[in-house]
Chains A and B, each alone.
Chain A
């Protein structure tokens, strides 16, 4: 067992056999987090405590209050010494070494998929989430939501007790009720029993569903996801006659055409996609040529930001483009190959379909040419939003270009007769539903509004809801049951391609919640109601492997090569043609008098399930830079046309439904197309998420699930303050984000490296004589702006959230921010993302001006900020050209965010649960001190210590490159951030610094930053670029 996770990549520990006994062990973990041992931890981590401790029998709550208080006292060391207790374990726990973290592998369930992670635990408290390096879908990286999951676990607003019709009840009461109630249902073979679950791809649950089908044949199972993959499935069904799951291999694609697919952003599996996509953007290694990305979309996305060519089209006209492309491409391939190839069987109605929308010159011809030129190495994919037909045509073209099997893999997943939410509401209307069991889902909030689910639900005599929160749905249900967080319970999951991974508990349920598995097993009287048992059974059933394998499975967090079988299927023309016949003949055109409205998943809150997560709420949206809000996004042209400016509150009317939303004018949005991010406007989310933003679901209907035309826009005359973290999108002609085309880069003389200052430092710089010289490189060509690094940093470094009001004042605390600049024309600009954290200047302006030596330089080149020395003059922040220093204006850790101004009158102390999340290796800062990126110095020190211990007794110790990884670099799905030792010429970072596109941000100031940037390289299609330039000239 390795005691130094950051010295080697964190070692995933197999749970000792004792653990596999299940409950007992986790109960003992419970003691860990709940009883004296936990207090010992407190004592160790927060030593400065008041003497009330001597009270002996200190309740946990009291203990934590004291601890909180002690933080307030930080720095005020009295001159007489109070007594401190040490409260050791009574029984020595196994596999816990106080002071050193342990990592476990588990999985976060996602709609129709899953996300594999490693969870770092400190004496039994999950504190930090990393990607699972062994799992293909993560490869060690994570996204925003995965990083933030640990905060959900400790959310004080989570539902804590069983509720019956709004009154507190108990599990016993519920079990009793269930017993009697279910007997009745069993008698009627499940007549009138309906289940509504999220789209959980869990074999264990599948196992139970099967059991339900046997014992309660009449019971019906429904699945609901607000942002589901119906279009994808139907599209595949259209093209191939059966619902196949396409998965893409971007690493094989030379040319990618995305039709409204945000595969680097909110689409499922974005982390894996980003990794694969980015691999082909590394211009240095000549192994594979740089890929080229065409994006056709209506609202700016992270994917659009990475595009080499981006076409702004209203979402509803993407289909037109697809058809145009199809026509062009098929006609060309037909020419190439004469008759007898599949395309000759192309139904005429496809060729005939659609009103010709005028696309910018070249966009059809040149793209087609590019695709044909790269047959078998090209890729066309459509987004969740797009109608099945677009997906079908994409499949068709991929087949036509011979991409199937190369860049597109089709997988067959086990079919199940699962009914939709629509059908459920129908039967509810018909009064056929006697008992409804809602498992985790929140339809009252996110169901299409025309279903009026909330209203219909009230007609159901018996409603039972299991949920993490007492949410909108629980408010209507008779029974509300607290659900166990996925870090609290056993389970299993499959990623969308079917790769199998375990869900294991890291801590006993904090609020005594139960998992969906347990509930279903109890209700339907499965042989065992013990989730751990069920998981084992489902493992055996899915894999036919034994305990050894299971242990390995838990250890790795993945069963290798367990993805669904790849099938090769030929397009089913007949079906396609039929669909076209039945489908829309012509799509309504979009214009000034016919505005389009489109919905898309929010990049942070997704469909609203993360609404109560402060980290996500405060993460600026990568494109709009909005925090704590969503807004109706308009293009500058639309805004000019309708006289709207950012912040105006608009009233949107669509089919008699109306919604008031603040406007946000965003360059790059398609003209006359308004898009609304879903997931906001929760009414029962918890203290953080309640009433934040507006709720677009109110406009969303079954018919207009993704986009609709004919929305009426009216200015209410009121304005709304949007907390935007970046008001200025222009670079003011400054050389901040450097960008060139592939050709320009190739021609670049090797001599031209980063512009260095000629001015000499006033003072002799700090001696940089450490054994290591830490440095970082951020590759702007890889960075998609996804902001996973922001949250990763927040959770690693105990960074507090500050709330909307403070963000409005410009006081957000994120140590790393992702700057977003627009380049090119005002209406249709390119987007450049630039992550900026402290760049650790060798001649740091902050260090010379600090009067108390709180900002100092380490011999290893780190620019240190010593919190307990800082008195908070803020001079350093003023003098920092990068503005990366953040001041604790208030006691953000100690005071409720809505009482910051109440000063001493505000209640003091951090909720104990949030304290459990804190990283014990990082000081929790008090008010009045400056803080900033430390290069994760705690990880550096842990790494060095580990190396020294390994090398104990011998002189030299070395730290292999890549063993010390800061949180941001570890999280980055695109591997855009490289960190390492510059004194080692072979380290990746040292290598990268020699590239010609390496440059220092504001290098001309002579700050000599240790973090340098790699210029963006774009790979435009020369011929298309030419036409675009010509067009510019005309316009």
Chain B
């Protein structure tokens, strides 16, 4: 009987098997981590046609979110300001700044400014801004410290699991409704966030939906 395989063949075989198993495990791990919004979305900061700085407008000038996102308290959608809104100031201030030329073009042509969308809930999920704002979820909770962002970036995963985390224990994020728009709100010195949160949950009977009905229709 001829010798076809070297002595080491058995060992080799075992190694191959081991490597295959490892590879599969590794692959799975990679997919688990890198294919989730946590990785794919957070940090997304596309270049906008106009380098609008929230840091400048909100942080430094202290403008209210409502000045531009006018409907956020009433409508499911937090509208992006119309060109009109920009022009209402920028006809005087920096009226000729080259950076603002796209806005001025849009104003004259009637064509909209092609802003790039940053924050986006998963497909087929219906999110209601008005409701969250009015029940005391701060802008910052989902959008991050926009007031400190020169260029706005995707701060949180906005994945279903991420939404559920907050819906399961809202006290971790709730604040008094009137503070919702306050980007730099901190819980009062004598209280922790969860204390404030728990109190609000108590008093407003806040019971965030955790079933599909709330978001999927």
Contact = CB atoms under 8 A, between A and B. Distances in A.
Say if the two chains contact directly (CB < 8 Å): yes
Interface string A318-357: 0000000000000000000000000000000000000000
A56 B105 CA distance: 14
A552 to B, nearest CB: 26
A505 B142 CA distance: 41
A77 B123 CA distance: 8
A91 B110 CA distance: 8
Nearest to B35: A79
A955 B205 CA distance: 6
Interface stretch (B16-24, B55-63, B79-87): B79-87
A857 B130 CA distance: 26
A87 B131 contact: no
Interface string B36-51: 0000110010100000
Interface in A39-74: 39-40, 43-44, 47-48, 54, 56-57, 74
A866 B41 contact: no
Interface of A: 3, 31, 35-37, 39-40, 43-44, 47-48, 54, 56-57, 74-75, 77, 79-81, 83-92, 97-100, 771, 856-860, 862, 864, 866-869, 921-923, 934, 937-938, 940-941, 945, 948-949, 952-956
Given A43-B117, A91-B82, 5 more contacts: A83-B117, A86-B116, A91-B84, A771-B207, A948-B134
Nearest to A868: B124
A853 to B, nearest CB: 9
Contacts of A39: 112
A923 B122 CA distance: 13
A941 B71 CA distance: 19
A937 B134 contact: no
Contacts of A84: 116-117, 120
A866 B212 contact: yes
Contacts of A860: 213
B41 A99 contact: no
A862 B40 CA distance: 34
A40 B124 contact: no
A3 B134 contact: no
A74 B71 contact: no
9 contacts: A77-B122, A88-B81, A88-B115, A89-B82, A98-B77, A856-B211, A864-B216, A941-B213, A948-B134
Contact of B115 (A85, A859, A921, A948): A85
A85 B203 CA distance: 40
Contact of A86 (B40, B117, B134): B117
Interface in B80-98: 80-85
Contacts of B120: 47, 84
A44 B77 contact: yes
A99 B79 CA distance: 9
Contacts of A858: 211-213
Contacts of B81: 88
B135 interface: yes
A867 B124 contact: yes
B75 A99 contact: yes
A941 B211 contact: no
B112 A74 contact: no
B74 A90 contact: no
A74 B124 CA distance: 9
A550 B205 CA distance: 46
B79 A88 contact: yes
Given A99-B75, A99-B76, A92 B214 contact: no
A54 B116 CA distance: 9
Contact of B212 (A74, A864, A921): A864
A862 B217 contact: no
Name the residue in A75, A922, A952 with the highest tally of chain B Cβ atoms < 10 Å from its Cβ. A952
B80 A922 contact: no
A92 B84 contact: yes
Give 6 nearest A-B pairs by CB, closest first.
A36-B112, A84-B117, A89-B82, A99-B77, A858-B213, A88-B80
Nearest to B154: A81
A955 B204 contact: yes
A100 B80 contact: no
B85 A92 contact: yes
Interface residues of B, number: 49
A31 B76 CA distance: 23
B174 to A, nearest CB: 13
Nearest to A1: B74
A806 B34 CA distance: 43
Report whether over half of chain A's contact residues are helix, strand or loop; otherwise say mixed. Answer: loop
A97 B177 CA distance: 22
A463 B34 CA distance: 70
B67 to A, nearest CB: 13
B35 A88 contact: no
Interface in B3-44: 34-35, 40-41, 44
Given A90-B84, A868-B124, A937-B213, A948 B75 contact: no
Contacts of B83: 88-91
Nearest to A44: B77
A868 B114 contact: no
Contact of B217 (A40, A89, A934): A934
A866 B83 CA distance: 38
B195 interface: no
B212 A856 contact: yes
A37 B44 CA distance: 25
Nearest to B106: A90
B146 to A, nearest CB: 15
B40 A88 contact: no
A921 B217 contact: yes
Interface in B179-208: 203-205, 207
Contact of B40 (A40, A79, A89, A97): A79
B139 interface: no
B84 A100 contact: no
Given A36-B111, A859-B211, A862-B213, A90 B116 contact: no
A85 B114 contact: yes
B141 interface: no
A355 B205 CA distance: 78
Contacts of A56: 114
B128 interface: yes
Nearest to B115: A86
B75 to A, nearest CB: 4
Nearest to A953: B177
A945 B130 contact: yes
Contacts of A864: 211-213, 216
B162 interface: no
Contacts of A868: 123-124, 216
A955 B136 CA distance: 13
Given A97-B71, A98-B75, A945-B130, A90 B82 contact: yes
A31 B216 CA distance: 31
A47 B82 contact: no
A948 B136 CA distance: 12
A87 B134 contact: no
Contacts of B116: 83-86
Contact of A90 (B77, B111, B123): B111
A661 to B, nearest CB: 43
A937 B217 CA distance: 7
Contacts of A954: 204
A949 B212 contact: no
B217 A97 contact: no
A88 B213 CA distance: 29
B65 interface: no
Contacts of A934: 217
Contacts of B75: 3, 97-100
Contacts of B135: 948, 952
A44 B113 CA distance: 16
Nearest to B31: A79
A941 B113 CA distance: 33
Name the residue in A3, A77, A859, A941 with the highest tally of chain B Cβ atoms < 10 Å from its Cβ. A941
B214 to A, nearest CB: 7
A951 to B, nearest CB: 9
A952 B112 contact: no
Nearest to A954: B204
